[in-house]
Amino acid sequence: MKHQLTRDDLYSLEQYVEVRPGFRARVMAHKQDRRVPIGPNITLYFEDAITMQYQIQEMLRIERIFEAEGIQEELDAYNPLIPDGSNWKATLMMEYPDENERRERLKHLLGIEKHVWIQFGEQPRVTPVADEDLDREDEEKTSSVHFLRFEFTPEMVEEVKQGVLVSMGIDHPNYTCTVEQIPENVRKSLVDDLD
């Protein structure tokens, strides 16, 4: 399994314009296997080399970055979000379509990123290391986006590879929800992230 992207993995801006429609369709289909809604307003999007390549390619396209230094900056920013064999990495998105409701809810969900959990069978729940890049909340409210890293023991990795049930949830006082069993297509895709 490939862990980090390099410049050799990326399309040039000219190439990307040509392949973008097909590449984008492939990535969107791939993302469907890496998405777990937890309740009505929070979704975990599990990242990997493909989702991050897409993110980088889009940033390079939008910003018109083609110098080596600028490309390396994007690689350095997004490579840490690629799982490296013993973990899953996810973007937590709080999705409240109404801006006023979102603003209000974010005030009541401080620390929510520390209340997300994943469990393999009877193993202990794993809570994430959150927002390693920067602080995403203040005393007033939390961010609607958090970056999470779930680290697993070798025993946990072995169990999930053998097909044990994977459940996920959030146990925040103001937002509690459990997904008893993630869909099989998602489980299969996430198992591929583990060496």
Q: Which two tokens stand for residue 111?
A: 């620390």
* Nearest residue to 155 (alpha-carbon basis) of 188, 128, 187, 121: 121
pLDDT, one tens digit per residue, over 88-134 is 999 999 999 999 999 999 999 999 999 999 999 999 999 999 877 66
Per-residue pLDDT at 1? 45
Per-residue pLDDT at 171? 97
7-11, 54-58, 124-128, 142-146 — which is least confidently predicted?
142-146
Overall pTM > 0.85: yes
Q: Percent of the chain beyond pLDDT 90?
A: 87
- Write the DSSP string, 123-143: SPPBPPEE-SSS--B-SS-B-
Round to whole Å and give the CA distance between 55 and 47. 10
